[in-house]
């Protein structure tokens, strides 16, 4: 489900980022675009994915197309307008292969503008450069006239970026008829040189030692239930169950090669609210597609009606991710219990929330031999909330008047993967979408830069909270190479 969800996000955002909107007094278009992209990625993602899981693939495709059409007309609906042909087509780009600078501070950024009308169009371009936390660095206006049916490129004025970090570059184009067009990109400079700091509480280590000891005392009661499968499948399929923290039952899908033997294993962990399903990928790899609490068919536990990431947020003892992290450790226990698993070749892989699960599990459990973290979440909460904002925060504060930012961030610090990154001992590969408004790249690097084991990363220049389709095959090949499977 995670890959399909990412493809949906890709299609949505490809149809939305460069939009034409008429302006209202005081309306900040670039912030609106940024917020709406995040909203599509998170809220639409959350509310629709469970419904999509219940329909077959053809219905999924039809619904995806309908959703794309819906998103394409949202700007006009929001502003009380009907759709009309765009006078201009605007797209931003930069002359760098991945949008990342190394030992440089100036990047050539430009907008490609096409005049689709039969008239010359006069326009003002307002260029802005801001830090990833929206601190303004530069603003400058430029004037441009474009003849009918002509393409022109307008370049951002020269500006030397301050140093390692990520930066928003935006262009607001206002025509003489008060049509507004906006384009923006994020660029990065020397991400591995971004200062990395931790904010763990004094009892951080003892908290996790106590949590892991408590999990060890719970009888896992592993169940492996054979499932019918097409004879042409590469693997045998089993439904698995296990007891985890708070006595909840976790479930998932185990795929085992048909030929007897000992094989490397991959633990797949889910994105937010998604449901990991079997993949039948290889005949020489054991795959456990695992769903921690409140995912897939696994138990929910208390307060299931509350959004997971704010569930129990007033206490590290009760917080949702304490149980969810321990669920992932229990899944490793399951793999360790199997004689057909090569205990020296166990990998974990997840994206978004799953990327955070991958980091956390590799940090808390040295039995993990390989970690794949895509567009990871649950990294550097302080900076995360300086870059983006979720409406649930206000709702949660309103429901918990005794809580504030400081107390909330104290709780989150126990689950911030940057505070456990130095415990990771296995090789790590991370991917980021440079334009990701959901898991901003700087937060991912806050964890990455504190990892001491062998590590590498991939940057997708134009991707938001998704990866291109080629990414998944590339990562499987990387895993196979690391485990000497070919």
pLDDT in tens, 444-474: 999 999 999 999 999 999 999 999 999 999 9
**Residue matched to tokens 């969810």:** 324
Asked whether the predicted pLDDT for residue 244 surpasses 90, the reply is: yes
The pLDDT score that the predictor gives to residue 144 is 96
| Mean pLDDT (the chain, rounded) | 86
Which residues have C-beta within 8 Å of that of residue 252, sequence separation ≥ 6?
A: 239, 240, 276, 288, 289, 290, 291, 296, 298, 331
Helices 204-216 and 320-336 cross at an angle (nearest 10°) of 50
Tell me, yes or no, if 471 is annotated catalytic: no
State what percent of residues in the chain have pLDDT above 90.
Answer: 77
Minimum mean pLDDT range among 302-306, 337-341, 447-451, 475-479: 302-306
Catalytic hit among 45, 168, 295, 465 = 465
Is the pLDDT confidence value at 226 over 70?
yes
Q: Give the tokens for residue 312.
A: 């129990």
Secondary structure string (H, E, C) spanning the chain: CHHHHHHHHHHHHHCCCCCEEECCCCCCHHHHHHHHHHHHHHHHHHHHHHHHCCCCHHHHHHHHHHHHHHHHHHHHHHCCCCCCCCCEEEEEEECCCCCEECCCCCCCEEEEEEECCCCCEEEEEEEEEEECCCCEEEEEEEEEEECCCCEEEEECCCCCCCCCEEEEEEEEEEECCCEEEEEEEEEEECHHHCCCCCCCCCCHHHHHHHHHHHHHCCCCCCEEEEECCCCCCCEEEEEEEEECHHHCEEEEEEEEECCCCCEEEEEEECCCCCCCCCCCCCCCCEEEEEECCCCCCCCCCCCCCCCHHHCCCCCCCCCHHHHHHHHHHHHHHHHHCCCCEEEEEEEEEEECHHHHHHHHHHHHCCCCCEEEEECCCCCCHHHHHHHCCCHHHHHHHHHCCCCCHHHHHHHHHCCCHHHCHHHCCCCEEEEEECCCCCCCHHHHHHHHCCCCCCEEEEEECCCCCCCCCHHHHHHHHHHHHHCCCC
Active-site position among 20, 184, 352, 444: 352
Least confident of 96-100, 115-119, 167-171: 96-100
Class of domain 88-193: mainly beta
The answer on pLDDT for 104 being more than 80 is yes
Which of 441, 433, 424, 428 is CA-nearest to residue 478?
428
Which is more confidently placed, 285 or 38? 285
Residue 478: band (very low, low, confident or very high) from pLDDT cuts 50, 70, 90: very high
Domain-wise residue ranges, the chain: 2-78, 88-193, 204-482
In the chain, pLDDT over 70 holds for what percent of residues?
A: 83
- Whether 352 is catalytic is yes
Q: What is the pLDDT of residue 341?
A: 98
Residue 242 has pLDDT above 60, yes or no: yes
Q: Rounded CA gap, 270 and 290, in Å?
A: 7
Confidence of residue 324 (pLDDT cuts 50, 70, 90): very high
* pLDDT at position 80: 47
On the CB side of 346, CA atoms within 13 Å amount to: 26
Looking at residue 53, what is its pLDDT? 40
Residue 76 has pLDDT above 50, yes or no: no
Whether residue 41 has pLDDT greater than 70:
no
Range 385-388 contact pairs with CB under 8 angstroms and sequence separation of 24 or more: 385/409, 386/133, 387/132, 387/133, 387/134, 387/440, 387/442, 387/443, 388/38, 388/437, 388/438, 388/440
211 catalytically annotated: no
Q: What are the b/e assignments for 39-51, b being 16+ CB within 10 Å?
A: ebbbebbeeebee
pLDDT score for 182: 96
pLDDT, tens only, 247-278: 999 999 999 999 999 999 999 999 999 999 99
Given pLDDT bands bounded at 50, 70 and 90, which one contains residue 196? confident
Kindly tell me if the per-residue pLDDT of 27 is higher than 90: no
What whole-number distance in Å separates Cα of residue 13 and Cα of residue 34? 11
For residue 338, what are its two tokens? 């199997």
pLDDT reading at 20 higher than 70: no
170, 436, 444, 463: which is the annotated catalytic residue? 436
The whole model's pTM is what? 0.84
Q: What is the reported pLDDT for 127?
A: 97
Q: Which CATH architecture has domain 204-482?
A: 3-Layer(aba) Sandwich (3.40)
pLDDT at residue 197 greater than cutoff 80: yes
Higher pLDDT, residue 64 or 89: 89
């Amino acid at each position: 489900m995670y890959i399909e969800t990412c493809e949906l996000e890709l299609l949505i955002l490809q149809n939305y980022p460069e939009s034409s909107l008429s302006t209202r007094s005081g309306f900040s278009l670039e912030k609106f675009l940024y917020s709406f992209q995040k909203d599509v990625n998170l809220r639409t993602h959350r509310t629709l994915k469970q419904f999509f899981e219940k329909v077959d693939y053809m219905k999924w495709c039809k619904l995806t197309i309908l959703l794309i059409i819906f998103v394409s007309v949202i700007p006009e609906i929001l502003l009380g307008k009907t759709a009309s042909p765009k006078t201009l087509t605007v797209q931003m780009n930069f002359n760098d292969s991945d949008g990342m600078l190394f030992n440089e501070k100036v990047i050539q950024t430009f907008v490609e503008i096409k005049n689709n009308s039969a008239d010359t169009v006069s326009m003002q371009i307002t260029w802005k450069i801001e830090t990833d936390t929206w601190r303004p660095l530069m603003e400058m206006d430029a004037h441009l006239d474009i003849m009918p049916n002509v393409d022109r490129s307008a370049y951002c004025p020269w500006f030397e970026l301050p140093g390692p970090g990520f930066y928003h570059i935006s262009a607001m184009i206002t025509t003489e008829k008060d049509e507004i067009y906006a384009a923006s990109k994020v660029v990065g400079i020397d991400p591995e040189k971004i200062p990395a700091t931790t904010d763990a509480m004094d009892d951080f280590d003892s908290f996790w030692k106590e949590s892991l000891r408590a999990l060890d005392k719970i009888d896992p009661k592993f169940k492996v239930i054979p499932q019918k499968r097409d004879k042409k499948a590469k693997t045998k399929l089993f439904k698995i169950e296990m007891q985890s923290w708070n006595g909840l039952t976790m479930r998932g899908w185990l795929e085992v090669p048909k030929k007897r033997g000992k094989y490397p294993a991959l633990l797949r962990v889910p994105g937010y609210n998604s449901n990991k399903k079997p993949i039948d990928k290889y005949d020489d790899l054991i795959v456990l597609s695992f769903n921690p609490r409140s995912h897939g068919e696994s138990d929910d536990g208390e307060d299931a009606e509350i959004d997971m990431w704010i569930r129990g947020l007033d206490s590290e003892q009760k917080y949702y991710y304490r149980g969810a992290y321990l669920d992932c450790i229990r899944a490793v226990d399951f793999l360790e219990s199997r004689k057909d698993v090569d205990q020296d070749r166990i990998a974990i892989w997840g994206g978004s929330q799953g990327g955070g699960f991958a980091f956390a599990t590799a940090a808390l459990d040295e039995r993990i031999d390989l970690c794949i973290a895509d567009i990871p979440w649950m990294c550097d909460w302080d900076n995360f909330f300086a870059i983006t904002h979720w409406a649930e925060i206000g709702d949660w504060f309103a429901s918990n008047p005794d809580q504030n930012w400081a107390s909330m961030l104290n709780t989150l610090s126990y689950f911030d993967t940057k505070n456990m990154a130095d415990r990771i001992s296995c090789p790590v590969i991370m991917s980021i979408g440079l334009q990701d408004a959901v898991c901003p790249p700087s937060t991912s690097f806050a964890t990455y830069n504190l990892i001491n084991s062998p590590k590498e990363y991939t940057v997708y220049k134009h991707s938001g909270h998704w990866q291109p389709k080629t990414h998944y095959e590339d990562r499987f090949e990387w895993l196979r190479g690391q485990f000497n499977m070919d």
